[in-house]
């Protein structure tokens, strides 16, 4: 048997194959097809719903249906040298009814379904994850399935290299705005707050006696405007801890039952075919893997084609996940979309054949070390053991055929995009050692990640105050207004990573880096002070968006502005008939007057360097207030861009150069939209990923340390990528691989 890839040490490329949706006579052919695609690993959900029989027992051996013989499927994977990632839930989603939970759970334990806002019952499968009855049922399922996986880990001669704990925890409560607000959970929340902040603080905040248990449930299910922001923050932070406690339950059982390989947590968050909201899932779940090198976060990416519009969301999401990990804790993707996107079989959505390879290279360039293609092969949904009269009586709601958008369809036939995906996968597998060893080089710019800015999964429907608060967070957080900040950095050649600004203690960031932060108007004083202290000690800050003036409870909070000596004027937003605009203060930015979605006039200290001003009514730049300024603070300095500037790359380049930030590898492209990510191995070999995210063919030159990296320009087709390899001592890089070529398959 070939050496198995491991999640900690190797590049793991995987394909999702659902054994329970295939006739066992097709298992070998589908696994052989997976091998031909280039993957070294197979992942599969193992659904509780599918394996539980009407009498409450479990069939994992095929005694009632041959396709339930999980052990045989895993052994066939081992026969081919394929590693396996098992995904036993309890939740699995996968378009299964009840998200893969058995109907018996809800029949026997209706109490696990909690009330939500205003006491209503959720319309989807929402449960109290730590309810004793739910945990007891989950334990029974784990006792049935986990030993079978544990017996096939590499230490016992098998190929199961990882086990995922649950799936997309918190996703359904988020997308339906249905938080768990049962009396039991509310009592836990109150006890948690009292332990953290004291009884008097909690009483003052909510106007309720913590000892009056009967009052809290109704009050928090229908909160008043005076407490709604407090509940928004407290509920979000408490739920993070609750999810972490749930994962620890599952983890402890799996270890007790023999699992000795790493665990994975699958993170959700894509919305509307983009990853802009994905960090919401990171915000919900980062405590589940915080500081745990044996618990690995894996993303769910469903964005269709990777375009310039979608680039910032994907880039920031990868960076923010990495920012919540510690050294030695790999990151990757557990549901990496590689199909056509036509999930409704309507020919209404279609991703091109370049989509999967381009997204794959982007994630590998940013440091992902495991990627699971979802779904690699289609199949068929079996019937339920007992009909329920729901219209199809199958285990899933997609009909009989499933996975019709996959590279290998329900009948095993390749899709039009299969050849391109197989070419990229085979190339990555062939160079797996180099790509795994080559880690992103330290970039000149780091994005600031504030998890609480993405804590918008729950908002009370009856509150205008909560609605406005969430709208402000969604508009300005993470990548800044219109996602300009991340787009300008990624396309400008800066390849930013990220830092979690809610980590405890001083900001752990070298002072030779630029911290790029899109803060929203709400930022807790604690974080403002952490950033201000870092600047004072020699750091360089790029602040893009409204200068924060309030904390997450809506109270005044101006520590950062005060430290920088800035006074903040009223923000002016665009509206019908009013077009806030910015004019350069001089010719340094080489910029004409530009319209912005907002401008915010600033009062600045003596000696501040003004780059741009709010356009005055008469068009005179001298008459406008500053809105783009650089100020000194101690040994450091900050550039405050309190305006919605467009993505004019030369303007951002000049602003960043003023802070001393220069790309490690400077791209020059015939079209905008080329992303360059320099990586390096410990022995000094450099791998430079060059990605053309634009819809136009590009001619690209690359410069490093004042020298051309290539002997001649690189020509990249639209939405394709290449990687270049430069050995130590070589004057030029050579082409390691280029996508977009015709594949003979």
DSSP 613-631: EEPPTTS-GGGSPEEEEEE
The residue written with tokens 């930030």 in the block is 661
Burial of 703 per CB tally in 10 Å (0-12, 13-18, 19+): middle
Least confident of 102-111, 340-349, 726-735: 340-349
Residue 2 has pLDDT above 60, yes or no: yes
Residue 462 has pLDDT above 80, yes or no: yes
SS3 category, 265? strand
Residue 530 has pLDDT above 60, yes or no: yes
Distance, in Å, from the CA atom of 731 to the CA atom of 71, rounded to the nearest integer, reads 53
Q: For the chain, what is the largest distance between any 2 Cα atoms, rounded to a whole number of angstroms?
A: 83
Average pLDDT over residues 110-124: 97
pLDDT tens digits for range 321-339: 999 999 999 999 999 999 9
**Nearest in space to 537 (alpha carbons), one of 499, 501, 508, 566:** 508
pLDDT for 661: 98
pLDDT for 623: 63
User: What is the CA angle 385-390-396, rounded to 5?
Assistant: 60
Q: Look up residue 573 and give its two tokens.
A: 């937003």
Average pLDDT over residues 51-80: 98
pLDDT for 207: 97
Under the banding of pLDDT at 50, 70 and 90, the label for residue 740 is confident
pTM higher than 0.85: yes
User: What is the CA angle 522-486-610, rounded to 5?
Assistant: 70
What dihedral do alpha carbons 73, 76, 80, 84 form, nearest 10°? 30
Looking at the DSSP bridge assignments, the partners of residue 715 are 699
pLDDT for 742: 47
Burial of 708 per CB tally in 10 Å (0-12, 13-18, 19+): middle
Where are the chain's structural domains?
445-658, 666-738
User: Computed over its alpha carbons, how large is the radius of gyration of the chain?
Assistant: 26
User: What is the CA angle 531-535-659, rounded to 5?
Assistant: 120
- Is residue 65 within 8 A of residue 140, CB to CB? The reply is no
**DSSP label at 683?**
T
pLDDT for 99: 98
Distance, in Å, from the CA atom of 372 to the CA atom of 333, rounded to the nearest integer, reads 6
Q: How many CB atoms lie within 10 A of CB 725?
A: 18
pLDDT tens digits for range 350-359: 899 999 999 9
Under the banding of pLDDT at 50, 70 and 90, the label for residue 175 is very high
pLDDT over 90 percentage in the chain: 97
Residue 467 has pLDDT above 90, yes or no: yes
- Is residue 84 within 8 A of residue 41, CB to CB? The reply is yes
Classify residue 590 as left (phi > 0), alpha (psi -120 to 50) or beta.
left
pLDDT for 7: 98
Average pLDDT over residues 675-690: 98
pLDDT tens digits for range 377-393: 999 999 999 999 999 99
pLDDT tens digits for range 81-91: 999 999 999 99
Residue 725 has pLDDT above 60, yes or no: yes
Distance of CA 535 to the CA centre of its chain: 28
- Is residue 702 within 8 A of residue 734, CB to CB? The reply is no
pLDDT for 41: 98
pLDDT tens digits for range 233-245: 999 999 999 999 9
- Is residue 412 within 8 A of residue 738, CB to CB? The reply is no
Average pLDDT over residues 579-606: 95
Least confident of 201-205, 530-534, 543-547, 739-743: 739-743
Residue 461 has pLDDT above 60, yes or no: yes
Residue 440 has pLDDT above 80, yes or no: yes
pLDDT tens digits for range 394-413: 999 999 999 999 999 999 99
Report strand pairing: 720-726 vs 686-692. antiparallel
Average pLDDT over residues 293-312: 98
Distance, in Å, from the CA atom of 656 to the CA atom of 445, rounded to the nearest integer, reads 9
3-state secondary structure 345-401: CCCCCCCCCCHHHHHHHHHHHCCCCEEEEECCECEECCECCCCCCCCCCECECCCCE
C-alpha count within 13 angstroms, C-beta hemisphere, residue 351: 30
User: What is the CA angle 477-478-480, rounded to 5?
Assistant: 65
pLDDT for 349: 85
Average pLDDT over residues 43-57: 98
- Is residue 94 within 8 A of residue 168, CB to CB? The reply is no
Higher-confidence residue of 621 and 305: namely 305
**Nearest in space to 358 (alpha carbons), one of 743, 693, 700, 735:** 693
pLDDT tens digits for range 273-287: 999 999 999 999 999
The residue written with tokens 């299910």 in the block is 221
pLDDT for 744: 32
For the chain, the average pLDDT equals: 96
Average pLDDT over residues 578-589: 94
Under the banding of pLDDT at 50, 70 and 90, the label for residue 616 is confident
Residue 155 has pLDDT above 50, yes or no: yes
Average pLDDT over residues 158-163: 98
The dotted CATH code for 445-658 is 3.40.50.880
pLDDT for 620: 57
- Is residue 481 within 8 A of residue 498, CB to CB? The reply is no
Residue 168 has pLDDT above 90, yes or no: yes
Distance, in Å, from the CA atom of 520 to the CA atom of 600, rounded to the nearest integer, reads 13
Q: Which residues fall within 8 angstroms of residue 273, CB to CB, at 6 or more apart?
A: 302, 303, 304, 310, 341
pLDDT for 743: 36
**DSSP label at 544?**
E
pLDDT for 745: 27
């Amino acid at each position: 048997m070939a050496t198995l890839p491991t999640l900690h040490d190797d590049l793991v490329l995987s394909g999702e194959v659902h054994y329970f949706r295939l006739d066992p006579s097709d298992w070998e052919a589908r696994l052989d097809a997976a091998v031909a695609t280039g993957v070294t690993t197979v992942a599969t959900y193992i659904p509780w719903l599918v394996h539980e029989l009407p009498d409450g027992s479990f069939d994992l051996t095929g005694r009632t249906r041959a396709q339930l013989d999980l052990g045989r499927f895993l052994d066939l994977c081992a026969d081919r040298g394929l590693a396996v990632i098992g995904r036993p839930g309890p939740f699995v989603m996968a378009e299964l009814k009840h998200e893969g939970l058995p109907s018996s759970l809800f029949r026997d334990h209706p109490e696990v379904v909690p009330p939500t806002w205003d006491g209503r019952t959720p319309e989807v499968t929402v449960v109290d994850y730590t309810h004793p009855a739910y945990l007891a049922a989950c334990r029974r399922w784990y006792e049935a399935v986990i030993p079978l996986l544990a017996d096939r880990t590499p230490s016992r001669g098998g190929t199961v290299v990882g086990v995922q704990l649950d799936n997309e925890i918190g996703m359904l409560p988020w997308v339906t705005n249905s938080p768990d607000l049962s009396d039991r959970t509310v009592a836990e929340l109150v006890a948690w707050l009292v332990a953290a902040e004291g009884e008097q603080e909690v009483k003052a905040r909510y106007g309720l006696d913590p000892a009056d248990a009967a009052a809290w449930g109704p009050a928090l299910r229908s909160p008043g405007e005076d407490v709604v922001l407090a509940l928004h923050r407290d509920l979000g932070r408490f739920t993070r801890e609750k999810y972490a406690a749930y994962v620890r339950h599952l983890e402890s059982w799996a270890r007790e039952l023999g699992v000795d390989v790493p665990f994975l947590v699958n993170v959700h968050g894509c919305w509307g075919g983009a990853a802009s909201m994905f960090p919401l899932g990171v915000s919900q779940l980062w405590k589940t893997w915080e500081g745990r090198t044996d618990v690995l976060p894996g993303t769910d990416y469903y964005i269709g084609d990777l375009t310039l519009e979608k680039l910032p969301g994907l880039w920031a999401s990868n960076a923010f996940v990495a920012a919540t990990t510690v050294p030695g804790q790999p990151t990757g993707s557990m549901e990496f979309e590689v199909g056509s996107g036509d999930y409704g079989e309507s020919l209404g959505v279609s991703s091109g054949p370049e989509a999967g390879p381009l997204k794959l290279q982007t994630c590998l360039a940013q440091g992902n070390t495991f990627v699971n293609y979802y779904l690699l092969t289609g199949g068929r949904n079996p019937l339920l053991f007992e009909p329920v009269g729901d219209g199809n009586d199958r285990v899933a709601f997609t009909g009989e055929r499933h996975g019709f958008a996959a590279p290998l369809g329900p009948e095993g036939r390749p899709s039009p995009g299969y050849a391109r995906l197989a070419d990229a996968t085979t190339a990555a597998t062939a160079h797996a050692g180099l790509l795994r060893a080559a880690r992103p080089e330290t970039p000149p710019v780091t994005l600031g990640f504030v998890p609480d800015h993405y804590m918008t999964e729950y908002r009370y429907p009856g509150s205008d105050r909560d609605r406005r608060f969430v709208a402000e967070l969604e508009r300005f957080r993470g990548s800044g207004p219109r996602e300009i900040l991340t787009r300008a950095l990624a396309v400008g050649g800066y390849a930013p990573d990220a830092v979690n600004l809610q980590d405890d203690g001083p900001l752990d960031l070298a002072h030779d880096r630029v911290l790029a932060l899109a803060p929203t108007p709400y930022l807790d004083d604690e974080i403002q002070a952490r950033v201000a202290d870092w600047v004072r000690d020699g750091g360089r800050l790029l602040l893009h968006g409204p200068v924060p003036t309030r904390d997450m409870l809506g109270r005044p909070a101006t520590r950062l502005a005060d430290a920088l000596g800035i006074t903040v004027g009223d923000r002016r937003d665009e509206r019908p008939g009013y077009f806030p605009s910015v004019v350069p203060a001089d010719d340094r930015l080489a910029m004409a007057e530009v319209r912005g979605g907002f401008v915010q006039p600033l009062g600045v200290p003596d000696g501040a360097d003004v780059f741009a001003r709010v356009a005055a009514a008469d068009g005179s730049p001298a008459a406008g207030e500053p809105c783009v300024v650089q100020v000194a603070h101690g040994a450091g300095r900050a550039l405050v861009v309190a305006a919605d500037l467009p993505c004019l790359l030369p303007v951002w380049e000049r602003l960043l150069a003023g802070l001393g930030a220069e790309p490690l590898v400077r791209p020059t492209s015939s079209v905008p939209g080329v992303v360059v990510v320099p990586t390096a191995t410990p022995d000094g070999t450099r791998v430079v990923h060059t990605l053309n995210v634009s819809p136009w063919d590009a001619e690209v030159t690359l410069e490093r340390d004042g020298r051309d990296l290539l002997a001649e320009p690189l020509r990249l087709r639209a939405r394709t990528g290449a990687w270049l390899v430069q050995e130590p001592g070589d004057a030029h890089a050579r082409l390691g691989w280029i996508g977009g070529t015709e594949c003979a398959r």
